[in-house]
Amino acid sequence: MAINLESMRPQSWQGIDDIVIVGGGLAGLFCALKLSPRPVTILAAAPIGQGASSAWAQGGIAAAMSPGDSFDKHLADTVAAGAGIVEEKIARLMISEGPDRIHDLLAYGVPFDRDLEGHLLLSREAAHSERRIVRVAGDRAGGAIMEALIAAVRRTPSIRVMEGYVVEELIAEGRFVSGVIARPDAGQSKSRVAFPARAVVLCSGGVGHLYKVTTNPPEARGTGVGMAAKAGATLADAEFVQFHPTAIDIGHDPAPLATEALRGDGAVLVNKAGHRFMTDLHPDAELAPRDIVARGVFAEVSAGRGAFLDCTKAVGSHFSTQFPTVYASCIAAGIDPVMQPIPVVPAVHYHMGGVAVDADGRTSLDGLWAAGEVTSTGVHGANRLASNSLLEAVVFAGRIADHIKGLLPEATLYEWPKTAGENDDLVTIEDSRQLKTLRQLMSAHAGVIRDAEGLKKLIREIARLERENSRVRFSNMAAVAKLIAVGALQRTESRGAHMRSDFPQISDTQRHRTYMTLKDADRIVAEIIG
C-alpha cells in the first residue's frame, strides 16, 4: 500500500520545534554537540560512526596552526587546488575558524598527535605549502575523531540517537521542509516513520558508491543529495567528483586507501618498470594536486604499465607504527609495504558538488540546512585540497548550530508518531541489479576521463534504469547520478577533477560555479533521449 504523505504533513511549524539531523558522521555528531543542550534527534542508517566516510579518513584535518603558517597561506593553497572557482570569502571563513574547531575537538577528547612538550604534531600533504595536517597515530585521524565524538554524544542527554533509520524522503510543503520520512530496521522494514521537525540538518555524506571503484563506505550513495534535489533544492558543481590517486588495488569494494600522508613523507609513484612517472607530469611530482596525480596513475594503469606506491625508502621499517591502518590493509592482502611497492589505482573519494548552501549552511529550502560532503559550499572549487573536508564538516556544522539556536524558540516536548504508514518498497542489503549496472556505467562514462559521447550514453542509460526501478532509494541515487552526468556534459572544458578528453583545455568563459535543480537536469535529459 502506498504511503499517504498528506496525512503526516503538519499544517505549519506551530508547536513543532524539534531538530532532526540526518546522518551520524562527523558533521552530524559535531552539529548535535554544538546544539546542546537543545534537544535534537540524530537519525542514522547504521550505528553512529559506521558507514560514515569521516571515520575512514586517514590524513587528518588541515588547520593553519604552526608558527610559519598563516590563514593567507592556507587560503592560497586552497584556491590554487580549486582551479579557479573557489568562493574565497567562504574559504577564508572556514580557514580562520579552523584552529578554534581543533580546540573544540580536543575538548571532546580527540587524541591528536603531540610532541614531548605537548605541541600538536603537524604533517604535510599534497598541494599544501606548509605542514598543517593535524592527525592521530599517523593515519587514524578519522576513526579517532569519530570515537571521541561518539562517546561525547552518548553521554549528552539532550541528544537522542535513533540508529537503523534510513531516511528516504524530505517532507516538503512548497519551499518549506517540515520533516523527514525514514524506514526502520536498517531500511528493511515495510513501515515508514514520519519525523516532523522545525529544522532538518542534512549530513548524509557523499556519492562514492555510485561508482564501481571507491574508497567510500557502501552507505555513501548520494541519497541525501537525491532527496534534496527531489524536494526542489538547488544543487551546485555536481560535475566535480574527486578521485583519490592511491587506493590500494587489491579488488576490494570499497577499496582501502593509501593515505596522501605517505607521499607527504616521501613515498614515490612508480610503474612496473620502476619509472617515477609523476616527475614527467608536474614540478611537484607526487605532491601535485590530486586531480593531476589521479590522471597520472590512471594513464599508467590504462596503458598496462601499472602504478605502485613505493614506501620502502621513505617509510621502511617504521610503516607499522607510523601508518598502522594502511599497513594492516596491505598485510591482509599479502603485501609487505616495508619491502614491496603497493599497487594503486584511482578511486572515487570525494564529491565537491552537492546541495548548495550559504555560510551558515542554509539551503535554498526553508527549514533545511546541510553540512559535510552532501553540500557544496564553494570552498573546494573544482578540486578539494587534501584534509580540507573534515575541516569543512566541523566548521559549517558549528555555524549551523549557532544559526539554528538564534532562530528557534526554546524547545518543548513533542510526542512522535510511532508509524506513518506502510508500503511494499522492501529494501535489501545487497546492491540491486540496477545499482550494480549504474555503478559500472558511472565509472565507465563519468570517471577520471569523460567525453560527450560517453556522457550522453550514460544519461540515456540512467533514464532507462529509472524506468526499470522506481523504488524510492534507487530513485534518490539515480537523481544524483543524473545531476553529475548532466553537469559534466554541460561543462565543455577540463578544470580540476573534471577532465573532458574532447575539451582538454581550460576555458576562461567557464570559470564559474554551476547551479542546477533536478527539473533543470530533467529538461536536458528529455532533449537527449528525444
pLDDT tens, the chain, 530 aa long: 344 444 444 444 455 668 999 999 999 999 999 999 999 999 998 888 776 666 666 678 999 999 999 999 999 999 999 999 999 999 999 999 999 999 999 999 999 988 888 888 898 887 899 999 998 886 677 788 999 999 999 999 999 999 999 999 999 988 899 999 999 998 888 889 999 998 999 999 999 999 999 998 888 899 999 999 999 999 999 999 999 999 999 999 999 989 888 998 899 999 999 999 999 999 999 988 888 999 999 999 999 999 999 999 999 999 999 898 899 999 999 999 999 999 999 999 999 999 999 999 999 999 999 999 999 999 999 999 988 999 999 999 999 999 998 887 655 544 444 434 444 455 554 568 899 999 999 999 999 999 999 999 999 999 999 999 988 889 999 999 999 999 999 999 999 999 999 999 999 999 999 999 999 999 999 999 98
Q: How far is 148 from 137, CA to CA, in rounded Å?
A: 14
pLDDT of residue 428: 54
pLDDT of residue 49: 76
CA distances (Å), 249 to each of 255, 314, 339, 443, 500, in order?
Answer: 7, 21, 17, 15, 25
pLDDT of residue 240: 97
Annotated catalytic residue, options 140, 183, 290, 495: 290
Segments in 312-408 forming alpha helices (H): 319-322, 324-332, 388-407
Q: Which residue is listed with cell 499544517?
A: 11
Residues contacting residue 486 through CB under 8 Å, at least 6 positions apart: 238, 459, 516, 520, 521, 524, 525
DSSP codes, 160-179 = EEEET-EEEEEEEETTEEEE
Q: Which domains occur in the chain, in start order?
A: 245-346 (3.90.700.10), 433-529 (1.20.58.100)
Q: In the chain, what is the greatest distance between 2 CA atoms, to the nearest angstrom?
A: 69
**The dihedral sign for the CA sequence 52, 123, 377, 108:** positive
CA distances (Å), 137 to each of 111, 303, 410, 516, in order?
Answer: 9, 36, 41, 41
**The dihedral sign for the CA sequence 62, 371, 17, 195:** negative
pLDDT of residue 445: 97
pLDDT of residue 55: 60
Radius of gyration of the chain (CA): 22
Residues contacting residue 514 through CB under 8 Å, at least 6 positions apart: 236, 237, 238, 239, 487, 490, 491
Residues 218, 50: contact at Cβ < 8 Å?
no
Q: What is the pTM of this model?
A: 0.88
- Phi and psi dihedrals of 334, rounded to 5? 80, 20
Among this protein's residues, is 500 annotated catalytic? no
Ramachandran region, residue 306 (left: φ > 0; alpha: ψ -120 to 50; beta: rest)? left
